């Protein structure tokens, strides 16, 4: 039939891994995958509901699809599709909405691609989302996102993810390793481990709550898989990031010195209201341990501003706490009320203009922290993996410890690893470097591009 399908993914790395897996199921059915900006017969939007903005963007994306092809079939999957399926189905142009248990079976629902008068909903009670579907992204990037875990048993008062994805459950160790080997055969240099709560890995591995394996077991096993040059841990809860894991990463063959550890608040009072499973003292211990064994490690932090009851004093606690920590950058989230969460019913609502001001202050702190981290790395010798996009005549890449570098565009560098010495920070905040790679016979600059001749 030569039908074309296009995907738009909102939200997290986990969503990207699942979109890629769903896309492969279309290809197996004879579809051709095209870019979302192109004309397609089917547009699949993988939704997110972590923030208010992700909800609002959905209608805009549907309109974008309709502009490319008014007759196209539009399907919505993902977290927002599970939480508010009818709301999505009511959006003009949407034909199909699939919940948490149905999204991986989307091709089963596509016998007739004619437009529907009303959006058709196939959703489930979230208690039914108790089985695991493995996934990974491939073919889109120089790195792959490998899903190892799904769902969450935590009850953070601001979060809808347990309502959207169900209980914590894990892939089997055998399947994770098989997927990692499949990825390594595709000439992908880096794998990022992803999930909702990956430190909880092992729970539900064989359909029960017992941990047959732990996250530490997973890290040890993946480090031995041949062909994988880089492994990166995505966001991991501070209470689940054990010293043994930090020690292992510090001595690892493939795991890189980069951690992303959610904090959410630097005030113990607010952490308790959020029902987080640690206090700020434990967070200090985690950061200190990482820097003790890997002084060059990059540490990213998630933080929420404007949570109900967060006074100016609580916010300043958070600001000063983060300022004092040896961290590298922040991901700042402005609190937004989510239906069916405890926090949405709490007193002490923070005015939106105050939330915005606090967010701006922390984003400014993030710029300062990233700059300080980059400055600390000048003169260091690191390995860079180069990206595949020409950005205004430059190629970008990331060191193992997540310093973003730039060089004049050279397509021969795409998806290659090279040893470099970091030399200076450019005006745009990215880092320049000299090549030290022993795999290159000659690297020269000519007409604003590098020509790389490989030793064969």
Whether pLDDT at 232 is above 80: yes
DSSP string, 310-321: --HHHHHHHHHH
The architecture CATH gives domain 4-125: 3-Layer(aba) Sandwich (3.40)
Residues 6+ apart with CB under 8 A from 207: 130, 131
**In the structure, what pLDDT confidence band is assigned to residue 355 with cuts at 50, 70 and 90?**
very high
Give the largest Cα separation in the chain, rounded. 67
Q: What percent of the chain has pLDDT over 90?
A: 71
The token pair that represents 336 in the structure block: 């937004």
In three-state secondary structure terms, 23 is: helix
Contact, 183 vs 232, CB < 8 A?
A: no
Report pLDDT digits (tens) over 149-194. 999 999 999 999 888 888 999 999 999 999 999 999 988 999 999 9
Q: Burial level of 149, CB count in 10 A (0-12/13-18/19+)?
A: buried
8 Å CB contact between 47 and 87: no
* Residue 125 vs residue 340, higher pLDDT: 340
CATH number of 378-453: 2.40.50
Share of the chain above pLDDT 70, in %: 89
Instruction: Check: CB of residue 83 under 8 Å from CB of residue 121.
Output: no
- Which residue has tokens 């949407």? 94
Kindly list the distances between the CA atom of residue 267 and the CA atoms of 264, 282, 304, 312, 341, in Å, as whole numbers in the listed order: 9, 12, 11, 11, 21
- Which of these, 179, 195, 194, lies nearest to 228 by C-alpha position? 179
Q: Of 359, 272, 274, 252, which Cα lies nearest the Cα of 315?
A: 359
Q: What is d(CA 358, CA 360) in angstroms, rounded to the nearest whole number?
A: 5
DSSP secondary structure letters along 90-131: TSTT--EEE-TTTGGGGGGG-S--SPPSS-EEE---GGG--S
How confident is the model at residue 456, as a pLDDT?
34
Q: What is the architecture, at CATH level 2, of domain 135-375?
A: Alpha-Beta Horseshoe (3.80)
CA angle at residue 265 from 264 to 271, to 5 degrees?
95
391-402: average pLDDT: 96
User: Across residues 145-149, what is the average pLDDT?
Assistant: 94
pLDDT at position 130: 65
Domain coordinates in residue numbering, the chain: 4-125, 135-375, 378-453
Q: What is the pLDDT of residues 409-441, one digit of tens each?
A: 999 999 999 999 999 999 999 999 999 955 444
User: 199-228, pLDDT tens digit by residue?
Assistant: 999 987 666 667 779 999 999 999 999 889
Confidence of residue 112 (pLDDT cuts 50, 70, 90): low
Q: Are 343 and 301 in contact (CB under 8 A)?
A: no
Residue 11 confidence (pLDDT) above 50: yes
- H-helix segments, 141-267: 161-165, 173-184, 215-222, 243-251
The per-residue pLDDT for 235 is: 93
């Amino acid at each position: 039939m030569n039908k074309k399908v296009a995907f738009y993914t909102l939200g997290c790395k986990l969503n990207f891994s699942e979109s890629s897996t769903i896309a492969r199921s279309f290809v197996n059915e004879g579809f051709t995958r095209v870019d979302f900006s192109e004309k397609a017969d089917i547009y699949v939007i993988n939704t997110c509901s972590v923030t208010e903005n992700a909800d609002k963007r959905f209608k805009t994306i549907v309109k974008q699809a309709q502009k490319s092809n008014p007759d196209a079939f539009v399907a919505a999957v993902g977290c927002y599709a599970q939480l508010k399926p009818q709301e999505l189905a009511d959006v003009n142009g949407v034909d199909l909405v699939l919940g948490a248990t149905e999204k991986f079976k989307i091709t089963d629902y596509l016998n007739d691609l004619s437009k529907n008068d009303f959006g058709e909903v196939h959703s489930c009670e979230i208690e039914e989302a108790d089985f695991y579907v493995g996934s990974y992204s491939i073919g889109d990037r120089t790195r792959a996102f490998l899903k190892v875990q799904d769902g969450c048993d935590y009850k953070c008062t601001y979060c809808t993810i347990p309502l959207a994805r169900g209980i914590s459950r894990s892939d089997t160790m055998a399947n994770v390793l098989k997927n990692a080997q499949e990825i390594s055969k595709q000439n992908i240099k880096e794998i990022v481990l992803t999930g909702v709560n990956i430190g909880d890995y092992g729970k539900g591995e064989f359909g029960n709550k017992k941990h047959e394996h732990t996250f530490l077991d997973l890290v040890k096993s993946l480090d031995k898989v041949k062909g994988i040059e880089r492994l990166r841990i995505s966001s991991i809860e501070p209470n689940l990031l054990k010293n043994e894991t930090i020690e292992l990463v510090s001595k690892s063959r493939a795991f890189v010195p980069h951690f992303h550890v959610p904090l959410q608040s630097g005030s113990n009072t607010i952490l308790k209201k959020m029902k987080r499973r640690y206090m700020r003292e434990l967070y200090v211990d985690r950061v200190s341990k990482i820097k003790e064994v890997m002084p060059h490690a990059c540490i990213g932090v998630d933080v929420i501003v404007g949570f109900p009851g967060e006074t100016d004093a609580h916010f300043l606690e958070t600001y000063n706490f983060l300022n004092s920590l040896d961290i590298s950058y922040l991901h700042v989230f402005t609190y937004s009320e989510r239906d069916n969460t405890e926090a949405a019913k709490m007193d002490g609502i923070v005015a939106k203009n105050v939330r915005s001001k606090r967010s701006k202050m922390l984003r400014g702190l993030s710029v300062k922290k990233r700059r300080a981290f980059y400055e600390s790395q000048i003169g260091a010798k690191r390995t860079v993996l180069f990206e595949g996009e020409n950005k205004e005549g430059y190629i970008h890449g990331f060191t193992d410890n997540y310093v973003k570098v730039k060089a004049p565009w050279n397509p021969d560098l795409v998806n290659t690893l090279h040893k470099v010495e970091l030399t200076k920070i450019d005006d745009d905040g990215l880092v320049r470097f000299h090549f030290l790679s022993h795999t290159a016979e000659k690297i020269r600059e000519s007409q604003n591009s590098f020509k790389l001749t490989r030793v064969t």
